[in-house]
Structure 1
């Protein structure tokens, strides 16, 4: 028996296929006359009437195959049809394009029209029977008859002239693998996207392992350790409607022996500064950790969960000098650890000391926080101001260690130098380089306790920050429209907070200001801080659905989006759960109570404008809440779609789009793109996905 050999269609084969399967079987032609089906000289049209679907001739497989002496077995549990004759067989699955031919070897392929059930009969493309049993098919135009002749041998002709170039049938997948296909010279009409699918041959379901818009581009596939044994790799091409139009398939053996190697450091390297290390793996880890051991005293440093595709920075102290071993540890989705080999290195740090918090040439006219950047332990820290002309020094602050908040007063003006002087644990003094600054020398006063555009709905505590010694403070409220000024409180101690409680009649736009009195009568004014007073009812975030129903709602939306965009449905669902607290915290209009349906906290204007809600700002080093516009939508569907458009179109998310089909790779890519500031954001998403088995949402067939 000859082995199955897929042939590129010859000109004659193409002509026959066009005649038999396209031109002559068009709906218009069918309307004129019925197609006859003759199998080995016997007319079986009455019991096996062919039909046309998507320009392909379909026949009821049982009648035709049994007429050819083949055995047909239907498996109702997995909805498959097995056709066998001698050593030849074909396994078909209802509504699946995946086909398994078996002769001397197994060969997977894709058909253009999947087997389907019509009037309780299973219809399949006639070419499948020809390919499976190696028999000839002819078309007679004049009599509009299809002749199936088992005495004629025929080569297997694939439905598509698409080939997976980078893999051989049965190839073992042991790590990162390159994927690429070849296409006919004319290309694939209307093909806009390619997806590489890894399917379980038992059910023809699996996951996307690579995708993109370049049909013949090279893609890198990093396997998941959960995938073991024989699998089917499918290269599937889709049009802009998400419809499958062409492809190829082969089988592979998943045999990944987990390997981890440490990058960024070589054996015996001398370390004299910050070292950036990473991990290279032959599988997709959920996260990595880095183990750093001082071989001289066995002190161990273990990092927290880190990005497998990112870098971990370690800056040793001077006291850390010595011999070290470094190791990367990768963890799979079940928490199992896989270690790299250790790399030995020698830390040889030289002493480093610098003043931070100010830059050279800066004019200081507001409070600054002076701090020390050093790589050794100290017993004493002294912040020093120096006059570059006279060399005279003044100690601003002395402490064991830490930072110092400094607001230079009018007694300081002109060009000065700042430095930090420390004593190490042995009592030896060390001094930083000098930083040149310009001191304004002007008296300054800042209002503390409120920030620009803050909305006051209840009492606030006001205070002042000044570079002069105040005798007393007056607090003033200014009408933003008329400029009329009114004292809220006079003669207040600068050491005591003043509690301002808005009252009826003060609603609207105002400005708050502090007036300081010093030197027995000299006045100084702070900046005017614009605020809004609102004493009406306010609304906070609101649920959009019962908590126990949110998973079903989010899953359905995610699956719909996944089918259109290719973005992991598991990842989308986990994001919605995390960012809305299971649908229990969605922005509403702070003043009107209108629900925004904004599941992802996106600012700006949505399909129905915006709602006003709180966000955080910082002023004079303190955080406070201000009003901000958050997008509002007609319904949850619009919010979901808008969020996906943001991720699909914004340039900063381009790296995310390359891996968005994979929930683990996608979660870390979002973090790297700045989607979330929480370093644990990817870990939280993966825990949700694992706990609620959301991986099932990403299962795909063909």
Structure 2
């Protein structure tokens, strides 16, 4: 009889636990993917996690309090203050459609919540105590018929000014041109390749930065020539950095294709800078190689998203989300 009672109690506990778990899952919309960064609604998430949020219109500052944690964050800055300590954030807090958005990682840093990101479903999950918050993230659609190949004179001048800030600033900018991974494909011999997209804007910025490093200045007329060179190539190029622990692995060919809708677009050509030792040699990864694949512009619609597919030597497929509207 005692065993039966114990089983019943155990079953009731399970039912009760499942019920509480189901009731504690909250779905929030309004997340955005901006410049390859996942931004989520601050107020909605903070309040669901039990924090009190106050907005100061005069100073454009958000203040939040939960238990013994005090948070202050000003719009447009990359620094927040948590319990008197300054904390750097990747992307400044910003308002989109009346909603204050912050980087997903900031939620973890500010309130100690566990955060997860599912790139396939574009869903962020935030967990703390018995509360689970699911945030739906959307990639903003490109407005109008914007094509980064049609760079304006104002954008050329802006690229020159950004490049004049130096080579270290260029490295920071190039991070924004890293194409995000859609699905990981790790094997015993391979490391995740890094993919960058190149544009006329980034080309001008890069040349200006390199000239600044030599105490020279890129003129507007020179910048226009670099833009013309890019356009005359009639291609959009992607740089793929591959890594491995042996020269044999790196030397194997890489198959790459761009999928847009039902269309498969193949590169018109692919070049390589050859195999080089990494700075970590002889430790892993020991070698790397830079490949550049050129895709014909007349077959690509930059108003639509695309998927870049890499087929590794062991037939592993790795995919990347290409959102052309994210790039200048």
Above 0.5 in TM-score?
no
Of structures 1 and 2, the one scoring higher in RCO (CA 8 A, sep 6+) is 2
Higher relative helix content = 2
TM range (shorter): 0.3 to 0.5
User: Structure 2-normalised TM-score?
Assistant: 0.33
User: Who wins on radius of gyration, i.e. which is larger?
Assistant: 1
User: Structure 1-normalised TM-score?
Assistant: 0.16
